[in-house]
Structure formats: structure tokens, C-alpha cells
């Protein structure tokens, strides 16, 4: 005889859950009590949005569902932010939400919410457990749904009384995701398409990758001399030093790469969906012959009709590339040309207004930090410098939202450092981005998680101001920010904080932050005119 709360936590343990995030609530006290004796690292967060984003970041880093518990009503709606990120980013995640007692359902009880209605449009599956005996069955199914096909979030509603009721029920077996794989016929058709192509381009994206799968793609690209690009915020899927790396398709993408996509006679989308951002507003793909490899059949042909569709996880397809015979020497050099275009775009930063040269700072970081460094960021123009000038060499070293979610960087960085304590973790945040979930800096201090946060402060909602100046020049409204002293903020929480006003001040400040062994914030002041690596705000206003 076990309570529903104990049964629930036992299912998590059986599925290898090593840590979870939560904001405590009275609606799931019985589950919290069961965690007391469980060998699970429970991170108590300061806001449900931050807790959900940390869980989503765990899913990105491990490929297993990130687990988050929040209380009913306001707790659940706060956590919706993380669920939306998981849906857009194809990240496995399970959100457990407290609910009113079963007898109170439908009466408008305290903090009651219809979770199926609230989350139905953003989660892969939403379910409310009505019988504690079904907890093992439903939790096992949740793990499968979250991981299989195109991964995504599952939301499970927990009426309070099912967690306190005692029942006898067997545990469900541990869950491993089904791995869809290509057939020999699939690989034969793919080989023919590659052999016939003069200007092929492979684009990597999505989830369900392993280190071995990434290595297999790198080997294939070298053998066939095929340029490889990565989708928006999926740069770590392919090593930057590889002679076939062509760059990433994000905001501010290299025009040479955009043209290379248009000019390709064969596009290979491996795990990628080429949604709005990487496709530059759905303008890059037209008449090219398309091979689309994706783990969920419904996504193949959803936007772009493929000449060849293959239902497979990216990892299984990557491993099957070894079945292909050695390629003949190409008549023209393809990968090296694309790589040189990328190097020209990323090697030497353009000067920007002001004393803080952001591009030079990024070059210093890439030259002084090891390849296992994990970079996290949220959304905003400040991230364009990160994506353009940092060079990822290993998988799972980039944790960033393809959903364009402001406020993601700090929770993601905290989880990355908690999960990978031996790797340096550097988190980038704009001034607006940081204050969305900067309260989670308290969580970093509480659990002694020594990430380094670089706050890029231009005193405004920079991305929105850029759009304003482009569409409505010289009529700014609602985008100016008055910010606190972020270095003092860090110290107030018990962390390390410094203010950086010039490029020369950055490196010594970074080294002191690293030596402190504490969670740290470097408050970097950047000229508001420096709106992108290549344009000033005035240039945007003038339509240049």
C-alpha cells in the first residue's frame, strides 16, 4: 500500500530521473513528501516560469524528459512559458501540475483550472489522472509521448486527493524511446540523390541526437565533401572547425549561406524543419530537390514537399550513413568554399559604436575557453554576436530557445551548470532578458551553482526598438529601460558582480569572476547605437 504521491515519485525513479525542478505548492504536498526520501536532486526555484525553463534545458542537454512540478492555477499558467519553449524546440519535458480534489472539479474551486483546455494547444498530450491506480500507466505513457516521434512537452494534472489516497498497484517498466530508423531502400535512394547532385547542402536541426550521431554526420560530410549548415540555435550539432561547416541559419544570417541554400540542387534536411527563422521567412526553399529526414511522419511534407521523405530519428539516420559506399572525388571543391565563406563572416568582428566592443569580447572568449564550455542565451539582438562569433566544437554545448523566448538564459544556465558541473557555463542575457527571470540568480546562490552571466545592457528593449526604428523612424515608445546596477544585484544575493564599461576591462573581470567560485554577473554597458554586429540604430532608421 502506497500513497499516490509515493507511487508517482517511484515511477520517476524507475525512469532514471536524477533531478527535477519545482516551486512548492499545497496542491501536491504528498508528492513533495515522497521526494524527501528519494535519491532525486530537487531544485526549488523562485518562479514557475524559471522552473519550467530549467526542466526544458535539462531535456535539451540529456534527451530525457525534464521534470517540473508546479502548483495549480497561477503556478500552472506561470509555467506555460517553459511548455511553449519545449513545444517549439522539440524538447522532451513533463510538467506535473497540482489540481483541486476530484469532488471539487467543475465547481470553480480555489485556483481551479481546466488544464486540458489551457495547455491543449501547446503540449503534445495533456491528461488529468482520476484514479491513483493509473499513475504508473500514465507516467510511463507520458515518458513515451515526450520522447518519441518529434519530442515535446506533456502536462499531467494531479488532483490533490489522488496523491494522498493509498492503493496497491505495480510499477510500470522503465521507458526507452522507440528509435525510428531508415531502411536499406531509404539509404539507397538517398545515395542516388547525393551522387547526382552538383550543389548539395545538408542542414541539421531538431533533437534526438547523440554525440556519436553528430560524429557520423561529420565523417559523411568529409567523405562526400558536402557543405553542412545548422538551423537556428542548433549550431553545436556540427563542429565549427570542420572543413565542410557552412554556418548557421539564424537571425542575421550570412548572405552567402542564404544564397547557397537557394542555389542548392539538393537540400538534405536532417532533423530540421526550416521554420520561419532559418528559412528567412520561408523564402529560401523553392524548387530545390529536397530530402527530408524526420522522426515523425506528420512533419514530412507539412511545409515543403520532399522528393524523398524518410521517417527516422536524426541519430539513427546519421549512423546509417556508414552504409553508403565511398564517394568518388567531386569535380569541384564544395565544402571548403562554403567553410571559407563562413570564416570570412565570423573571424574578424566589425567595429561598433562605443568603448565596449562586443565582437572583440566574443573573440577573446572563444580563444580562452575550452571546447566543453556550454553557452546559454535567451532572446534579443545581443544574441546575434554570440551566434556569429562563438564557435561550438562539441554537441550539447548550446542551450538556447528556437522559440525566441526572452528570459530563458538564466534558468537554462543554472540547469546546465547543475547538470555539467565540470564544464564552464557562460550565460548571455540582455538587460531586459535578464530581468525576466533574473530572480533565479537566488537559486544559483542557494545551490552554489557557479555560472557566469554576462548582461549586455543598452538600456532598452533593443530588438523591439530596432523594429520600431525600421517601421516608425524616430517615434520610440515603450522600449526605454531604467536598469539597476546588476553588479550590485549579484552581490546583494551573495554572488560575484562587476561592471564592465570598456573592452579592456572585460578579460580581467571575467577571470576574477571565474576565480571567485561563485555565481557571477558581469554587467557590460554597450552603446545603444550598437544594435547589430553590422548596423547602428541610426542606419536602421535611415533604411540602410
Sheet holding 153-159, edge to edge: 41-44, 19-22, 66-70, 93-99, 153-159, 125-128
Query: Are 429 and 496 part of one and the same domain?
Result: yes
- State the pLDDT at residue 470: 93
User: How confident is the model over 383-407, as a mean pLDDT?
Assistant: 96
- Neighbour-count burial of 367, counting CB atoms closer than 10 A to its CB (0-12 exposed, 13-18 middle, 19+ buried): exposed
Q: In the chain, how many domains are there?
A: 3
- DSSP letter at 523? E
Query: How much of the chain, in percent, has pLDDT values that exceed 90?
Result: 94
- Domain annotation covers residue 69: yes
CA dist., res. 96 & res. 388, Å (int): 37
pLDDT in tens, 69-118: 999 999 999 999 999 999 999 999 999 999 988 788 788 888 888 999 99
- Domain annotation covers residue 244: yes
- Structural domain boundaries enclosing 528: 348-541
- Closest by CA to 93, choosing from 129, 130, 125, 117, is 125
pLDDT band for position 119 (cuts 50, 70, 90): very high
Q: What backbone torsions phi and psi does residue 346 show, to the nearest 5 degrees?
A: -115, -10
pLDDT in tens, 226-285: 999 999 999 999 999 999 999 999 998 999 999 999 999 999 999 999 999 999 999 999
- Domain annotation covers residue 178: no
Alpha-carbon distances, residue 48 vs 31, 81, 88, 244, 248 (angstroms): 17, 9, 19, 42, 32
pLDDT in tens, 501-515: 999 999 999 999 999
- State the pLDDT at residue 108: 87
Query: Are 247 and 327 part of one and the same domain?
Result: yes
Q: Look-up: residue for cell 521523405?
A: 309
114, 134, 167 - which closes a domain: 167
Q: What backbone torsions phi and psi does residue 401 show, to the nearest 5 degrees?
A: -90, 120
- Domain annotation covers residue 411: yes
Contact 289, 192 (CB under 8 A): no
Q: What backbone torsions phi and psi does residue 352 show, to the nearest 5 degrees?
A: -125, 165
Which grid cell is 135?
499513475
- State the pLDDT at residue 233: 96
Terminal C-alpha separation, the chain:
71
Query: How much of the chain, in percent, has pLDDT values that exceed 70?
Result: 99
Query: Are 317 and 356 part of one and the same domain?
Result: no
Q: What's the pTM value of the predicted model, to 2 decimals?
A: 0.96
CA dist., res. 525 & res. 536, Å (int): 16
Indicate if the pLDDT at residue 391 is higher than 70. yes
CA dist., res. 212 & res. 193, Å (int): 24
Indicate if the pLDDT at residue 331 is higher than 70. no
- State the pLDDT at residue 103: 84
- State the pLDDT at residue 330: 59
Q: What backbone torsions phi and psi does residue 462 show, to the nearest 5 degrees?
A: -65, -45
Query: Are 355 and 332 part of one and the same domain?
Result: no
Query: Are 369 and 518 part of one and the same domain?
Result: yes
Which of residues 543 and 490 earns the better pLDDT score? 490
- DSSP letter at 530? B
Query: Are 335 and 357 part of one and the same domain?
Result: no
- Domain annotation covers residue 189: yes
Indicate if the pLDDT at residue 327 is higher than 70. no
Angle between helices 335-346 and 382-389 (to 10 degrees): 140
- Domain annotation covers residue 176: no
- State the pLDDT at residue 332: 63
Query: Are 369 and 452 part of one and the same domain?
Result: yes
- State the pLDDT at residue 364: 98
User: How confident is the model over 193-215, as a mean pLDDT?
Assistant: 96
Query: Are 148 and 126 part of one and the same domain?
Result: yes
- Domain annotation covers residue 174: no
pLDDT band for position 544 (cuts 50, 70, 90): confident
- State the pLDDT at residue 328: 63
Indicate if the pLDDT at residue 304 is higher than 70. yes
310, 340, 370 - which closes a domain: 340
CA 439 to chain centroid, in Å, comes to: 20
- State the pLDDT at residue 414: 98
- Neighbour-count burial of 516, counting CB atoms closer than 10 A to its CB (0-12 exposed, 13-18 middle, 19+ buried): middle
Q: Look-up: residue for cell 522528393?
A: 307
318, 340, 362 - which closes a domain: 340
User: How confident is the model over 206-220, as a mean pLDDT?
Assistant: 97
Query: Are 410 and 441 part of one and the same domain?
Result: yes
Q: How does the average pLDDT of the chain come out, rounded?
A: 95
- State the pLDDT at residue 126: 97
Query: Are 65 and 163 part of one and the same domain?
Result: yes
- Domain annotation covers residue 175: no
Query: Are 356 and 330 part of one and the same domain?
Result: no
Residue 200: which CATH number? 3.40.50.1220
- State the pLDDT at residue 105: 78
Query: Are 275 and 131 part of one and the same domain?
Result: no
- State the pLDDT at residue 111: 85
Amino acid at each position: 500500500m502506497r500513497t499516490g504521491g509515493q507511487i508517482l515519485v517511484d515511477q520517476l525513479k524507475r525512469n532514471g530521473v536524477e533531478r527535477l525542478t519545482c516551486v512548492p505548492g499545497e496542491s501536491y504536498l504528498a508528492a513533495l513528501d515522497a521526494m524527501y526520501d528519494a535519491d532525486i536532486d530537487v531544485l526549488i526555484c523562485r518562479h514557475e516560469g524559471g522552473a519550467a525553463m530549467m526542466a526544458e534545458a535539462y531535456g535539451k542537454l540529456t534527451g530525457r524528459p525534464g521534470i517540473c512540478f508546479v502548483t495549480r492555477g497561477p503556478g500552472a499558467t506561470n509555467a506555460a512559458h517553459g511548455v511553449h519553449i519545449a513545444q517549439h524546440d522539440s524538447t522532451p519535458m513533463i510538467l506535473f501540475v497540482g489540481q483541486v480534489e476530484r469532488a471539487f472539479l467543475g465547481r470553480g474551486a480555489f485556483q481551479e483550472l481546466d488544464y486540458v483546455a489551457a495547455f491543449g494547444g501547446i503540449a503534445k498530450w495533456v491528461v488529468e489522472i482520476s484514479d491513483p491506480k493509473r499513475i504508473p500507466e500514465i507516467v510511463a505513457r507520458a515518458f513515451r509521448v515526450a520522447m518519441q516521434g518529434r519530442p515535446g512537452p506533456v502536462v499531467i494534472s494531479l488532483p490533490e486527493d489522488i496523491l494522498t489516497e493509498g492503493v496497491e498497484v505495480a510499477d510500470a517498466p522503465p521507458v526507452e524511446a522507440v528509435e525510428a530508423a531508415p531502411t536499406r531502400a531509404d539509404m539507397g535512394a538517398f545515395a542516388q540523390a547525393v551522387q547526382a547532385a552538383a550543389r548539395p547542402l545538408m542542414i541539421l536541426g531538431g533533437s534526438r541526437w547523440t554525440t556519436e550521431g553528430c560524429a557520423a554526420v561529420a565523417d559523411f560530410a568529409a567523405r562526400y565533401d558536402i557543405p553542412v549548415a545548422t538551423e537556428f540555435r542548433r549550431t553545436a550539432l556540427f563542429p565549427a572547425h570542420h572543413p565542410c561547416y557552412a554556418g548557421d541559419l539564424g537571425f542575421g544570417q550570412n548572405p552567402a549561406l542564404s544564397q547557397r541554400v537557394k542555389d542548392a540542387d539538393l537540400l538534405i534536411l536532417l532533423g530540421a524543419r526550416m521554420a520561419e527563422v532559418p528559412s528567412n521567412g520561408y523564402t529560401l526553399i523553392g524548387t530545390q530537390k529536397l530530402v527530408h529526414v524526420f522522426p515523425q511522419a506528420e512533419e514530412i511534407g507539412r511545409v515543403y514537399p520532399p522528393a524523398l521523405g524518410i521517417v527516422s530519428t536524426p541519430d539513427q539516420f546519421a549512423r546509417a550513413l556508414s552504409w553508403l559506399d565511398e564517394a568518388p572525388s567531386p569535380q569541384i571543391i564544395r565544402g571548403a568554399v562554403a567553410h571559407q565563406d563562413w570564416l570570412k563572416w565570423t573571424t574578424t568582428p566589425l567595429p561598433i559604436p562605443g568603448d565596449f566592443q562586443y565582437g572583440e569580447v566574443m573573440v577573446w572568449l572563444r580563444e580562452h575557453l575550452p571546447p566543453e564550455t556550454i553557452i546559454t542565451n535567451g532572446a534579443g539582438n545581443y544574441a546575434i554576436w554570440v551566434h556569429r562569433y562563438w564557435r561550438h566544437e562539441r554537441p550539447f554545448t548550446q542551450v538556447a530557445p528556437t522559440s525566441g523566448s526572452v528570459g530563458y538564459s538564466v534558468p537554462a544556465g543554472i540547469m546546465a551548470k547543475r547538470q555539467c558541473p565540470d564544464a564552464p557555463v557562460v550565460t548571455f542575457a540582455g538587460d531586459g532578458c535578464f530581468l525576466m527571470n533574473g530572480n533565479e540568480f537566488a537559486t544559483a546562490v542557494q545551490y552554489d551553482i557557479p555560472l557566469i552571466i554576462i548582461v549586455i545592457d543598452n538600456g532598452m528593449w533593443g530588438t523591439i526598438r530596432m523594429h520600431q526604428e525600421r517601421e516608425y523612424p524616430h517615434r520610440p515608445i515603450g522600449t526605454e529601460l531604467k536598469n539597476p546596477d546588476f553588479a550590485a544585484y549579484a552581490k546583494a544575493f551573495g554572488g560575484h558582480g562587476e561592471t564592465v564599461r570598456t573592452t579592456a576591462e572585460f578579460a580581467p573581470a571575467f577571470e576574477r569572476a571565474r576565480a571567485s567560485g561563485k555565481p557571477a554577473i558581469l554587467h557590460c554597458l554597450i552603446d545603444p547605437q550598437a544594435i547589430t554586429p553590422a548596423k547602428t540604430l541610426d542606419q536602421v532608421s535611415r533604411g540602410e
